Structure 1
Amino acid sequence: MALETRTNAPDPGAGGAAAGDPALERQIAGLDALELAAGARRGPLARLWSALWPMLTAVAIALAFWQAVVWSGWKDPWVLPGPADTLPIFWDQVTSGRFWEAVALTMRRALVGFSVAIVIGVLVGALVSRFLVLRRAFGSLITGLQTMPSIAWFPLAILLFQLSESAILFVVVLGASPSIANGLIAGVDYTPPILLRAGKVLGLRGLLLYRHLILPASLPSFVAGLKQGWAFAWRSLMAGELLVIIGDTTSLGVLLSQARELNNTADMISYMIVILIIGVVIDQLFGVADRALRTRWGMDVD
């Protein structure tokens, strides 16, 4: 009888004590209800505010630091104007048609160059990750190209293509494609072996294995590679527009160069702020893609 009683007793290690305690069950249920209610109360405006207030705080801190440097008298006001002198000029710039024509040309160059870099990076990354001989031959070369300063390519680009759009595109592609290729290679390398075995059991071979298993599994690293590739492409483009001025075309780099030549610091800082804002916006777009990917994979806990 004693043995039967011990056999039927709840196992504390298996959660039997919690299951047999109604008070504890009510407390746990109450905590779950509070957590669900807190998540349900977060509407779209609350989510928007939670995303905006850290950025607004960072902007306020940056402006305060900028103004403090100006008040310190480190540089003359005509060399380093303060926010009160620069922001009105910034507003005048962003409300002018010439400014938006320059932004349109710069963004067109960036999107074309980045698109070409994606095609080349995906092709090179897929081949290098698939064939061991190519990995040994070109793996270190791709990393070396990624670490090479983009401005070092411009003498060769100007020699090959003269002062033309092709010279700028050449440097943008060379700046971005190695990062994209390395992102894909890293994603393929870290694909769990159990997934590969499962895919082969299901009959996936060759291109089908890449299309339906390896590429989807490597998406997190690939998205990180795309984000890094965009950063390199944007930096290469800004350097190119400062060095390669084509005829009477007007881009953000040309406006920045003209402001520097005229010693117009307020205009120059305004264009730098625009370049920074575009970089932040693109980063937010990559953040949306990353959050969508994590949600799809069940890793978004917010």
Structure 2
Amino acid sequence: MVYKIGVWPEFMFPSPLQVFKTLWSGIKDGTYTIALLHSIRRLLIGYFIATILGASIGVILASNKTLDETFGSLVLSFQSVPSVVWLPLAILWFKLGEPSIIFVVVIGGIWNMIISSSTGIKNVSPEFIRCAKNLGYKNIKMFAKVIVPASIPHIITGMRLAWAFCWRALMAAEILGTGKGLGQILMWGRDMGNMQTVLSVMIMIALTGFITDNLIFKKLEGRVLERWGLLNN
């Protein structure tokens, strides 16, 4: 170990065995499990709002050229702003607590959903539109039967990216905010100088993100792309 040769002391760089013992202990006594459930609940609420709201705004932007050229440019700018930057405003608007954390989570994922939904609708093949018109489709029927189904691959990709960004935003908000969650345990470990706790929570966060992405969103995206004939074999 690096601390044995005098590079770093043990409390700064704990051994992998110490980290995994702390991780297992936190899971066994329910500390990490309860914190994870609190975090997942916030994530699901924020993600659901970001998905619905983002997709709706994306549809509006794609349907209105003036809005797309004005507000659409602002969306691209907002996407580059880290979601944690919104936390001071969230605290000012909603006070320090659950609503402010969920607001930051929503902000973390909404921009990707807007961009993906808008891009998907604008990139629908003109051939689909012409064929639908020849079949008598127009207005709402055209939108529901042709445009939305054709844009699904972009929307699914946006949902996958939005989940990842919402997860990152949640951790940042929990570290700086209040309430139970993995971010709060991480903050406690840092304040106490307990690097085993810090590293074990980091592993927990990474594993949760990896599992949800690979077991849910990656498979869903692959099936959609295969169904739409967009998956390279």
TM-score range (shorter-chain normalised) is: over 0.9
Determine if the alignment matches structure 1 residue 197 to structure 2 residue 107. no
- Partner residue of 1:293? 224
Aligned CA-pair RMSD: 1.7
What aligned pairs does 1:75-154 form with structure 2 within 5 A after superposition? 75-154=8-87
Alpha-carbon distance in structure 2 between the residues aligned to 1:149 and 1:288: 28
What aligned pairs does 1:235-246 form with structure 2 within 5 A after superposition? 235-246=168-179
| Gaps in structure 2 of 5+ consecutive residues | none
- Partner residue of 2:211? 281
Amino acid at match of 2:225: R
Amino acid at match of 2:123: Y
Amino acid at match of 1:257: M
Alignment CA distance shift 1:209-1:255 (3 Å): same
Determine if the alignment matches structure 1 residue 258 to structure 2 residue 188. yes
Equivalences, count: 232
Per-residue CA deviations over 1:221-252 (Å, capped at 9, x if unaligned) read 11111111112111111111011114xxx211
- Partner residue of 2:164? 231
Alpha-carbon distance in structure 1 between the residues aligned to 2:197 and 2:109: 29
Q: Which runs of 4+ in 1 moved over 3 A?
A: 69-74, 298-302
- Partner residue of 1:268? 198
| Gaps in structure 1 of 5+ consecutive residues | 1-66
Other structure's SS at 1:92 match? helix
Alpha-carbon distance in structure 2 between the residues aligned to 1:114 and 1:177: 8
Tell me the CA shift for residue 98 of structure 1. 2.5
| Percent identity of equivalent pairs | 32
Q: Which moved more, 1:262-271 or 1:197-206?
A: 197-206
Find the partner of 1:173 among 102, 106, 115.
106
Alignment CA distance shift 1:298-1:137 (3 Å): closer
Tell me the CA shift for residue 286 of structure 1. 0.7
Per-residue CA deviations over 1:133-171 (Å, capped at 9, x if unaligned) read 211221101111111111111111111111121111111
Tell me the CA shift for residue 299 of structure 1. 4.8
- Partner residue of 1:214? 147
Tell me the CA shift for residue 212 of structure 1. 1.2
Alpha-carbon distance in structure 2 between the residues aligned to 1:123 and 1:204: 22
TM-score, normalised with respect to structure 1: 0.73
Question: Quick one: higher RCO (CA 8 Å, sep 6+), 1 or 2?
Answer: 2
Alpha-carbon distance in structure 2 between the residues aligned to 1:269 and 1:124: 39
Alpha-carbon distance in structure 2 between the residues aligned to 1:239 and 1:223: 25
